[in-house]
Copies of this chain bind each other. A is one copy, B any other.
Amino acid sequence: MADSIRVTVWNEYRHEKRHPEIAAIYPDGLHNTIATHLRAEGFTVRTATLDEPEHGLTEAVLAETDVLIWWGHMAHDEVSDEIVARAKRRILEGGMGLIALHSAHFSKIFQTLMGSTCNLKWREIGEKERLWVIEPGHPIAQGLGEYIEIPHTEMYGERFDIPAPDTLVFISWFEGGDVFRSGCCYHRGRGKVFYFRPGHETYPIFHQPEVMRVISNAVRWAAPSGGPEVHFGHIKEPLEPVG
């Protein structure tokens, strides 16, 4: 069934062009690393980037997207409000899934869906992270061990200003003394949203098999599940007699 899920991997795609040390890890951009992996899993994958017309997220592209993966970091403000509103509509009304990776906590699309600041603490000293599986019965934990270890990463620490997740799948431990809700599932409208913390651009995190496993699992979980279309607004007649 995996091959029927259509994924669009969106990347700001600035870091990789400017910083040779990032390009060394992700030579064709982070989006292509992720896309290549997902194709190998059997998904139908395209990519889109900030500097394409309409950021590559035309109505047509979104209409053919089951799950949108979002990576952004330096240029959140350059994303057009109109495109954000379009993607949000496709999630809430159309049931498209959204996977927000790492620094996408500050992306407009994630913030507007959460309704809070999505702010957090951060520290960049290459410390160790261990993501503990808190809900082992959740499909996003499929095929994992009890935790995922990332040898060197940027730290994100609590308080993470998000609504309490519908399901909390991972909690991270950081060497320097912090914790973080690292895998957060939400239903929003007809769509599903997954926030996944790992992924700093200066570390080869998207080359790590367990990390990619989580992303594949999350694509399957977040894909539209075929529930009812919802009708809102004025209903003139009661379903049952009144009075």
Contacts and interface: CB of A to CB of B under 8 A. Distances in A.
A18 interface: no
Contact of A189 (B116, B167, B178): B116
Contacts of A113: 115-116
Given A175-B238, A179-B179, A188-B115, A227 B92 contact: no
A192 B117 CA distance: 15
Contacts of A121: 231-235
Contact of A227 (B136, B164, B191): B136
Interface residues of A, number: 79
A2 to B, nearest CB: 10
A145 B228 CA distance: 5
A43 to B, nearest CB: 16
A5 interface: no
Interface in A101-140: 112-117, 119-123, 125, 127-128, 130, 132-139
B127 A238 contact: yes
Given A119-B232, A146-B228, 14 more contacts: A112-B115, A113-B115, A123-B234, A132-B178, A135-B164, A136-B229, A137-B224, A139-B226, A144-B227, A155-B235, A164-B168, A171-B181, A175-B240, A179-B179
